[in-house]
């Protein structure tokens, strides 16, 4: 087996560790796992974890399990299970075999708890929450032994059975491990292994009323599945001691090649939160339209916004694996999608804030069909049909009465500008409505400028985009800004104080007719405007702005 797996050139400490373990013969293959708790949708931080777990497995021709860490029925839901599976597949990863659930191991966990009790290493404790907190001590002071710590093994066995059989109330007692109440690691002060919850579980229904704690279930799940390297985030660093203690004290799992835990830094993203609890608050309090609101840093929000799996994988690669927690620049995520769409997105024209132009010297009733490249740098993507006639629309921002200076590159009275993929025009005069707003701009066009420069050496510097009025179709544009005003909203427990009140702007404009059947979540470059994709949750033609054409974060 060992011969078929090659060590790879390490690019991070996880590779170093795995190389060492393969080289020493401790392991002959690599099995990792991604263990989400189905209590929310996956976010960009999970994407990093997925990329690392599945990526490392792939690097060594190994496997990665998907295991739902479903030990808290109060907060979990099958909706989350389904969204998590969908998101992982969309990101381009395949888990090893069947989806795994911690809840499938409840019988084994129960037996392990009994083994610890039989070894005098676990006891049923009736301290109330408040009492238990006091007995726990502080970072400076050691804890005190619970008065229930010395209950006999036989009594503990009977009490634990009673817990399982529902003879105690929720919160009345817990099963605790007997480790060390004076440990300098708080998590080693007789941590809880099981608690009582009278809740219906999405996988096991009402079979159980006692549920294992994360620390107990996690290492056992890893050991049962034969995980070799259990990769998690740094906040579990101290808990590694429980992980090791439990596996070392259970006969079945105390083996030389048992799993080991390694920690890497969490991803924290500027102007976003990667706490599921806080994301859920945003949803529950209707600050956003749902978990997949395009402003959410969830995988489903990013997908709806037009992010591609490739861009999220590239982002994960760029942020890398380290042991130092930091705040990642929002511009890194945006440039990863911009870089990808710059290569792949078909070009098209959309007028987001339209004003009408009348080309006075163009024949009435005539419509011309023109060809425009789908991607100017990639001829293989072919051409698209666009139109030109006497009436067109341009963006309001592209016209001013008097050019402010010689460098002005858009349309102004008596100045020439090129319409993208079309003719050179010149503005002559305009109408205003009763409120003094510009209503219609009148122009002339030069018929001899299609695909060529104007004659007699006239230089036309500017290019603006447009749509032809009779063929263009109405569309709504949703333009997003950062969801939070603070670059590090994690600073606040109450997120509402940092929410950006204008994170969504809605505009109504026009797009080229070929966008009538635009596929949802597939981004186009609206030339000069940015990347946009059709919204997957709306009936009509609604486009979400994925990202602008340039980095505007650092200005
Ligand atoms: P919870 O507070 O609900 O436990 P969680 O963010 O830890 O939230 P899990 O579903 O337990 O969510 O996470 C699954 C895996 O993803 C874990 O291994 C966790 O370490 C990892 N993970 C979660 N958030 C991040 C993040 N921001 N960056 C990197 N990895 C993360
Ligand atoms: Mg967790």
**For ligand 1, which residues put their CB under 6 angstroms from it?**
35-37, 39, 45-46, 48-49, 232-233, 266-267, 274, 276
What's the pLDDT score for residue 2? 44
| Distance from Cα 77 to the centre of ligand 1, integer Å | 17
Q: Which pTM value belongs to this model?
A: 0.94
Length of the chain as a residue count: 555
CA distances in angstroms from 55 to 22, 314, 339, 507, listed in the order given: 17, 12, 22, 41
Q: Is 148 exposed, middle or buried (0-12, 13-18, 19+ CB in 10 A)?
A: middle
DSSP labels, 49-97: HHHHHHHHHHHTT-EEEEEE----TTT--HHHHHHHHHHHHHTT---SS
Q: Pick the residue whose CA is nearest to atom 1 on ligand 1.
A: 276
**Both structure tokens of 210:** 């006692």
| Distance from Cα 281 to the centre of ligand 1, integer Å | 17
Domain spans in the chain, listed from the N-terminal domain onward? 13-264, 269-346+475-547, 350-465
Relative to the alpha carbon of 236, which ligand is closest? 1
Q: CA-CA distance, 518 to 526, in Å (whole number)? A: 13
**Both structure tokens of 139:** 């970072």
What's the pLDDT score for residue 287? 95
Q: Pick the residue whose CA is nearest to atom 25 on ligand 1.
A: 45
What's the pLDDT score for residue 461? 87
| Distance from Cα 30 to the centre of ligand 2, integer Å | 23
Question: Of 67, 217, 227, 233, which is best to mutate to test ligand 1, by the most ligand atoms within 8 angstroms of its C-beta?
Answer: 233
Neighbours of 533 (CB within 10 A): 26
CA distances in angstroms from 343 to 165, 225, 533, listed in the order given: 61, 41, 15
Q: CA-CA distance, 194 to 170, in Å (whole number)? A: 11
Question: Which positions are annotated as active-site residues?
Answer: 37, 266, 276
| Distance from Cα 433 to the centre of ligand 1, integer Å | 56
DSSP labels, 371-433: EEES-TT-GGG-EEEEEEESEEEEEGGGEESS-SSTT--SEEBT-EEEETTS-EEEEEEEEE-
What's the pLDDT score for residue 7? 84
Q: CA-CA distance, 86 to 536, in Å (whole number)? A: 15
Ligand 1 atom having least distance to the Cα of 268? 27
Q: Pick the residue whose CA is nearest to atom 22 on ligand 1.
A: 46
Query: Tokens 């619970």, residue?
Result: 146
CATH superfamily ID and name for 350-465: Ribosomal Protein L25; Chain P (2.40.240.10)
Ligand 1 atom having least distance to the Cα of 235? 20
Q: CA-CA distance, 273 to 277, in Å (whole number)? A: 10
Q: CA-CA distance, 306 to 303, in Å (whole number)? A: 5
Cα separation of the two ends of the chain? 54
User: Pairing state of beta strands 438-446 and 354-359?
Assistant: parallel
CA distances in angstroms from 268 to 59, 295, 432, listed in the order given: 25, 16, 50
Q: CA-CA distance, 483 to 497, in Å (whole number)? A: 12
13-264 is classed in which CATH architecture?
Answer: 3-Layer(aba) Sandwich (3.40)
Report the topology of domain 269-346+475-547.
1.10.1160
Neighbours of 32 (CB within 10 A): 27
- The pLDDT tens digits for 338-387 are 999 999 999 999 999 999 999 999 999 999 999 999 999 999 999 999 99
**Both structure tokens of 61:** 């021709």
Helices (H) and strands (E) counted in the chain, each on its own, are 12, 29
DSSP-derived 3-state class of residue 181: coil
The residues, ordered by sequence, that sit 6+ positions from 485 with a Cβ below 8 Å of its Cβ are 498, 499, 500
| Distance from Cα 81 to the centre of ligand 2, integer Å | 14
Torsion on CA atoms 7, 8, 14, 17, rounded to nearest 10: 30
Q: CA-CA distance, 125 to 147, in Å (whole number)? A: 8
Q: CA-CA distance, 80 to 73, in Å (whole number)? A: 12
Cα–Cα nearest to 334, from 108, 132, 523: 523
Q: CA-CA distance, 227 to 250, in Å (whole number)? A: 16
CA distances in angstroms from 395 to 399, 440, 510, 522, listed in the order given: 8, 12, 10, 23
Task: Tell me which residues of the chain have a pLDDT lower than 70.
Answer: 1-4, 552-555
User: Pairing state of beta strands 504-511 and 326-328?
Assistant: unpaired
- The pLDDT tens digits for 304-318 are 999 999 999 999 999
Q: What is the 3-state secondary structure (H, E, C) of 246-273?
A: HHHCCCCCCCCCCCEEEEECCEEECCCC
Ligand 1 atom having least distance to the Cα of 39? 3
């Amino acid at each position: 087996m060992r011969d078929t797996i090659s060590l790879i050139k390490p690019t991070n400490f996880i590779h170093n560790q795995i190389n060492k373990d393969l080289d020493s013969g401790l392991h002959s293959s690599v099995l990792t796992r991604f263990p989400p708790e189905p209590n929310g949708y996956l976010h960009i931080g999970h994407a990093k974890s997925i990329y690392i777990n599945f990526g490392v497995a792939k690097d060594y021709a190994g496997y990665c399990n998907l295991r739902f860490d479903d030990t808290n029925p109060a907060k979990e839901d099958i909706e989350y299970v389904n969204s998590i599976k969908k998101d992982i597949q969309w990101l381009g990863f395949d888990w090893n075999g069947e989806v795994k659930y911690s809840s499938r191991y409840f019988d084994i966990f129960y037996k392990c708890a009994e083994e610890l009790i039989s070894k005098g290493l676990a006891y049923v404790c009736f301290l109330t929450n408040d009492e238990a907190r006091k007995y726990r001590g502080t970072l400076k002071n050691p804890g005190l032994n619970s008065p229930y710590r010395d209950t006999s093994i036989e009594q503990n066995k009977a009490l634990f059975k009673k817990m399982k059989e529902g003879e105690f109330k929720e919160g009345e007692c817990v099963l605790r491990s007997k480790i060390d109440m004076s440990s300098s690691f708080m998590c080693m002060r007789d941590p809880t292994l099981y608690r009582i919850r009278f809740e219906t579980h999405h996988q096991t229904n009402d079979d159980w009323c006692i549920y294992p704690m994360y620390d107990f279930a996690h290492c056992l799940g890893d050991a049962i599945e034969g995980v070799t390297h259990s990769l998690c985030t740094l906040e579990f660093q101290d808990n590694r001691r429980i992980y090791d203690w439990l596996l070392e004290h259970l006969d079945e799992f105390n083996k030389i090649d048992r799993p080991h835990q390694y920690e890497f830094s969490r991803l924290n993203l500027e102007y976003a939160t990667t706490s599921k609890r806080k994301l859920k608050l945003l949803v529950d309090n209707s600050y956003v339209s749902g978990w997949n609101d395009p402003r959410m840093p969830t995988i489903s929000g990013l997908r709806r916004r037009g992010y591609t799996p490739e861009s999220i994988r590239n982002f994960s690669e760029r942020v890398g694996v380290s042991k130092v927690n930091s705040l990642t620049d929002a511009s890194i995520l945006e440039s990863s999608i911009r870089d990808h769409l710059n290569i792949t997105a078909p070009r098209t024209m959309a007028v987001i804030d339209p004003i009408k132009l009348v080309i006075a010297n163009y024949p009435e009733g005539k419509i011309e069909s023109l060809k425009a490249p789908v991607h100017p740098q990639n001829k293989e993507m072919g051409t698209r049909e666009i139109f030109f006639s006497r009436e067109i629309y341009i963006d309001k921002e592209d016209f001013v009465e008097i050019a402010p200076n010689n460098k002005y590159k858009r349309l102004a009275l008596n100045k020439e500008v090129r319409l993208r993929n079309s003719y050179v025009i010149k503005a002559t005069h305009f109408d205003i409505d009763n409120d003094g707003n510009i209503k219609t701009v009148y122009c002339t066009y030069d018929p001899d400028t299609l695909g060529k420069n104007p004659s007699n050496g006239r230089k036309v510097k500017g290019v603006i985009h447009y749509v032809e009025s009779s063929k263009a179709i109405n569309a709504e544009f949703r333009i997003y800004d950062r969801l939070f005003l603070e670059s590090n909203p994690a600073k606040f427990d109450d997120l509402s104080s940092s929410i950006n009140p204008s994170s969504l702007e809605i505009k109504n404009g026009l797009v080229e007719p070929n966008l009538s059947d635009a596929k949802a979540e597939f981004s186009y470059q609206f030339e000069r405007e940015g990347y946009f994709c059709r919204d997957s949750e709306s009936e009509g033609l609604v486009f979400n702005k994925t990202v602008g054409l340039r980095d505007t974060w650092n200005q």
